[in-house]
């Protein structure tokens, strides 16, 4: 009985530890709720959050048609990333590599439209990996 209890405890610790690692590997940089039209939204990211080697965009709640995102770096340079993708209410982008490796990001601007016929508005979330 004691052996099975010990094994169960170790399995619980392993699951909690792996969940903690997965949560900490990606940092949530911000979210915006989408309007029902052609629009753009900006998510501000501060230098105190450090540099990022990868970005990922997730959409929840509703559907949107994402055209592009513009990443403004701390040094003033911009990276225009064409997404041209219809996101369903639980989809995400591929991993996006900022130009030049680890970069400090000042803000990210999204250009999108929506023809969402449901009452739920989509929400765009951005995550960065250090």
Phi, psi for 127 (deg, rounded to 5): -125, 145
Phi, psi of 110 (to 5 degrees): -110, 140
pTM: 0.73
Looking at the domain that runs over 27-129, which CATH code has it been given?
Answer: 2.60.120
Give the pLDDT band of residue 122 (cuts 50, 70, 90).
Answer: confident
C-alpha 38/C-alpha 7 separation (Å) is 55
- Domains in the chain: boundaries: 27-129
Mean pLDDT of 13-22: 45
Mean of the per-residue pLDDT values of the chain: 79
Give the three-class secondary structure for 32: strand
Spatial CB neighbours of 45, under 8 Å, sequence gap ≥ 6: 29, 30, 105, 106, 107, 108, 128
pLDDT tier for residue 91 given thresholds of 50, 70 and 90: confident
């Amino acid at each position: 009985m004691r052996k099975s209890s010990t094994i169960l405890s170790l399995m619980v610790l392993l699951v909690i530890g792996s969940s903690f690692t997965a949560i900490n590997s990606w940092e949530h940089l911000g979210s915006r709720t989408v309007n029902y039209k052609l629009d753009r939204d900006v998510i501000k990211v501060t230098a105190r959050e450090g540099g990022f080697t990868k970005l990922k965009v997730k959409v929840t709640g509703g559907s949107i048609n994402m055209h592009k995102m513009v990443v403004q770096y701390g040094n003033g340079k911009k990276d225009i990333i064409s997404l041209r993708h219809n996101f369903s209410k639980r989809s995400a982008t591929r991993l996006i590599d900022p130009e030049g490796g680890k970069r400090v990001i000042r803000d990210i601007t999204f250009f999108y439209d929506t023809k969402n016929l449901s009452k739920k508005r989509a929400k765009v979330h951005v995550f960065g990996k250090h």
